[in-house]
Structure 1
Amino acid sequence: MTHTEFGLIRHGLTPWNIEKRIQGQTNISLSDTGIAQATDWGSALAAQDWSRILCSDLNRAMQTATIINERLGSLPMSTDNRLREQHWGKWEGYKLVQLGETEQEEMERQKAAGWGFTPAGGESRLNVLHRTLNALRDCAERHPGERILVVTHLGCMKAVADHLTELRTGQPAQVKDPELTGSYHIHHIRCVQGDLSDIVLNVPL
């Protein structure tokens, strides 16, 4: 049975990542470090067989994808706004330490909400999951049998990994924040007739 395979990666580092400032859908560009990361990832990913690139339409993802694509031989590339980071509403632009000081009670309440986690004035984590899965399914329908690199955001990657792991094991995935660990990963996902499953998660880039 024909299947489409996806490799999901996060964009490179931005100035706001360095400052531990919440970006959400604010359109921030890569830092010099992020540009260097994307260049290195392109060299590593060139050893694999990719058909095309799909990415979020936010600058940091498009920049990452474009730099990587220079190493992959200028593959067909397209954007999908459903692959954007979670909308964090009025909290976008805040540093995490600031939220801990001024919004601690609300932050704790939202963390306990699980898939219902909804930043003040933003969107729910469940909505992030649904739009990301739909973007992947639609892409798989357009490009059956292909192997597609997807450049997206941590919120989308965590939502997909948690969902697929919960389906298989009943427990969420352990997807670590690269801003805290310094380690970036790729998730390999398979889509067969609209059904998504994880091949292997958290492969180091």
Structure 2
Amino acid sequence: MTKICLVRHGETDWNAVRRIQGREDIPLNDKGKKQAEECGHYLKDFYFDVIISSPMVRARQTADLINNQVGLPAIIEMADFMERDYGLVSGMTIEEKKKKFLNQEHPSVESWEALSQRVMKGIDTIHEIYKGQSVLLVVHGGVINAILGSISNEELGHGKTKIMNGSITNIENQNGTWVIHNYNQVGHLSLSYSNND
């Protein structure tokens, strides 16, 4: 049974002001670094065979800070887990996007279908390579929502589930079927670091 512990990266300055953050490489802010350190402190008591990260800087910084305490020999980067490409709306605040596009998706934005196919291809690759192992996977909110939506037949995911910075979600492959054990867990974070809009 392959187990995957998904961690959303820590906060960035763009997260803090609700600015849409797709493929821009925005680093963690001080709060985000603290969130990552608290994730590492919590996760060091669990066993993992491998740590995998999105190659984007905010995810990789989070993975590095977690691995300072988890202590695995290397971090593997997988491009399948890059954040959704938001196209022309990337860099806008949520409010700016609503005003300009009236809550419609701009054609330049990667579709949820394409995002879900991409990230689930990555999940299948992990299951093929690390079957029966325990994997720590550091990614993005949109990626986690795409995974939750795919596994839950859209009961969870985009528009339904808010994924917090530094939160933990656990899934497991049981006899060929992915099962969600829990999602958006933030009990390991300091109260002041888990209040993220």
Describe the SS at the equivalent of 2:136: strand
2:135 pairs with 139, 148, 157, which one? 148
Kindly provide the amino acid, as one letter, of the partner of residue 86 in structure 1.
R
By how many angstroms is 1:72 displaced?
0.4
Counterparts of residues 35-184 of structure 1 (less than 5 Å): 35-104=33-102, 107=103, 109-110=104-105, 119-166=106-153, 171-172=155-156, 174-178=160-164, 184=166
Q: CA RMSD in A?
A: 1.9
C-alpha contact (below 8 Å) 1:137/1:194 kept by paired residues: no
Q: Which runs of 5+ in 2 are unaligned?
A: 189-197
Describe the SS at the equivalent of 1:178: coil
Report the TM-score when normalising by structure 2: 0.86
The share of aligned pairs that are identical, in percent, is 26
1:67-89, CA deviations, whole angstroms, 9 ceiling, x for partnerless residues?
Answer: 10000013432011110111000
Query: Residues 140 and 76 of structure 1: is their aligned pair in 2 closer, same or farther, counting only changes over 3 Å?
Result: farther
* Structure whose residues are more often helix by fraction: 1
Q: How many residues align?
A: 185
Please state if 1:197 is matched with 2:179.
yes
Kindly provide the amino acid, as one letter, of the partner of residue 182 in structure 2.
V
Q: Which runs of 5+ in 1 are unaligned?
A: 111-118
Kindly provide the amino acid, as one letter, of the partner of residue 15 in structure 2.
N
Counterpart Cα distance in 1 of 2:33 and 2:146: 25
C-alpha contact (below 8 Å) 1:91/1:120 kept by paired residues: no
C-alpha contact (below 8 Å) 1:22/1:96 kept by paired residues: yes
C-alpha contact (below 8 Å) 1:51/1:75 kept by paired residues: no
Kindly provide the amino acid, as one letter, of the partner of residue 8 in structure 2.
R
By how many angstroms is 1:48 displaced?
1.1
Residue 5 of structure 2: aligned partner: 7
Report the TM-score when normalising by structure 1: 0.83
By how many angstroms is 1:26 displaced?
0.9
